[in-house]
């Protein structure tokens, strides 16, 4: 692992192999090491970069709560600081959000895109979900009443532990606020702006970002292709590493031939 300073933030990262650059972006709660199967599968033919995104692994926290645009801007600067002007991006889950934003907003920096069980599409607003969200907002507002005094923060944290997702419960402070900003942004509108070659890889049994999200992305990203990973869940690249590496390698080889042909 190496370290560098980008905009005052200590960034820990993997930089292995040589050749065309491939940037790997991990999911929420992960780190560069989470992507080891992909790193190992690609480093013989490509220069592979994998970051501990700010707030994860060995990298320092963002100075204020960040959402997807801020994380994407940081990644863009980090990649440029390593002498790379254009790269292929492979993003898993939360990392997929960042990759989508980059491909839509700074396409000149993106050679190709691989989205693995990517986040970015807001789940349908079912009646149960709307009622749960409404109750949580009202309860949180009540627990901010001055009459509760010092008990207020304690009760609000208990409420968060009861209603928050596992990722939300595992975070505090700036990272909890960052997660709220991140999941609150629907990236559907960005998908139609993506013009680079795009591969979608999805675990057919993914319950975090269901394969229906992958099908929607395939319909909105021009020329993209969705490949389901049989029997795999949200971490399809860990569940079926040999298959995922073979598909990714074939895709990258095809985009490289297309760029030089």
pLDDT of residue 122: 86
Q: What is the pLDDT at residue 133?
A: 59
What is the per-residue pLDDT for 146? 80
**pLDDT given for residue 123 in this prediction:** 75
Residues in the chain, total: 261
In this predicted structure, what is the pLDDT of residue 144? 74
pLDDT at 150 over 80: no
Across the range 6-25, mean pLDDT stands at 97
pLDDT the model gives residue 161? 62
**Euclidean distance between CA atoms 57 and 45, whole angstroms:** 26
If you average pLDDT over residues 36-60, what whole number do you get? Answer: 97
Strand order of the β-sheet with 2-6 is: 2-6, 9-16, 47-52, 21-25, 87-92, 110-116, 198-203, 225-229
Question: Could you tell me which CATH class the domain 2-122+185-260 is placed in?
Answer: alpha beta
pTM: 0.84
Is the pLDDT at 240 greater than 60? The verdict is yes
**Tens digit of each residue's pLDDT (9 = 90 or more) over 71-85:** 999 999 999 999 999
What are the DSSP E strand ranges found in 77-177?
A: 87-92, 110-116
Residues spanned by CATH 3.40.50.1820 within the chain? 2-122+185-260
The whole-number pLDDT of residue 138 equals: 59
Virtual CA dihedral for 243, 244, 245, 250, nearest 10 degrees? 90
């Amino acid at each position: 692992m190496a370290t560098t300073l980008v905009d005052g933030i200590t960034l820990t990262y993997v930089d292995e192999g040589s050749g065309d650059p491939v940037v790997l972006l991990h999911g929420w709660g992960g780190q560069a090491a989470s992507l080891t199967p992909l790193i190992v599968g690609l480093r013989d033919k490509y220069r592979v970069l994998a970051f501990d995104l700010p707030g994860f692994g060995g990298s320092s926290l963002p100075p204020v709560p960040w959402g997807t645009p801020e994380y994407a801007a940081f990644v863009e600067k980090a990649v440029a600081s390593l002498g790379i002007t254009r790269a292929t991006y492979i993003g898993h889950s939360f990392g997929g959000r960042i990759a989508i934003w980059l491909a839509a907003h700074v396409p000149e920096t993106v050679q190709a895109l691989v989205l693995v069980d990517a986040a970015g599409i807001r789940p349908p607003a079912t009646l149960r979900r709307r009622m749960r969200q409404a109750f949580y907002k009202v309860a949180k507002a009540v627990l901010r009443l001055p009459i509760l005094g010092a008990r207020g923060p304690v009760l609000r944290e208990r409420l968060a532990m009861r209603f928050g997702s596992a990722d939300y419960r595992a975070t505090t402070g700036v990272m909890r606020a960052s997660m709220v900003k991140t999941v609150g942004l629907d990236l559907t509108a960005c998908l139609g702006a993506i013009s680079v070659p795009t591969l979608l890889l999805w675990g057919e049994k993914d319950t975090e970002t269901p394969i229906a999200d992958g099908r929607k992305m395939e319909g909105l990203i021009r020329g993209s292709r969705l490949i389901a990973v049989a029997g795999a869940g949200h971490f399809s690249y860990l569940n079926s590493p040999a298959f995922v590496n073979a598909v990714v390698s074939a895709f990258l080889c095809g985009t490289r031939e297309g760029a030089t042909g």
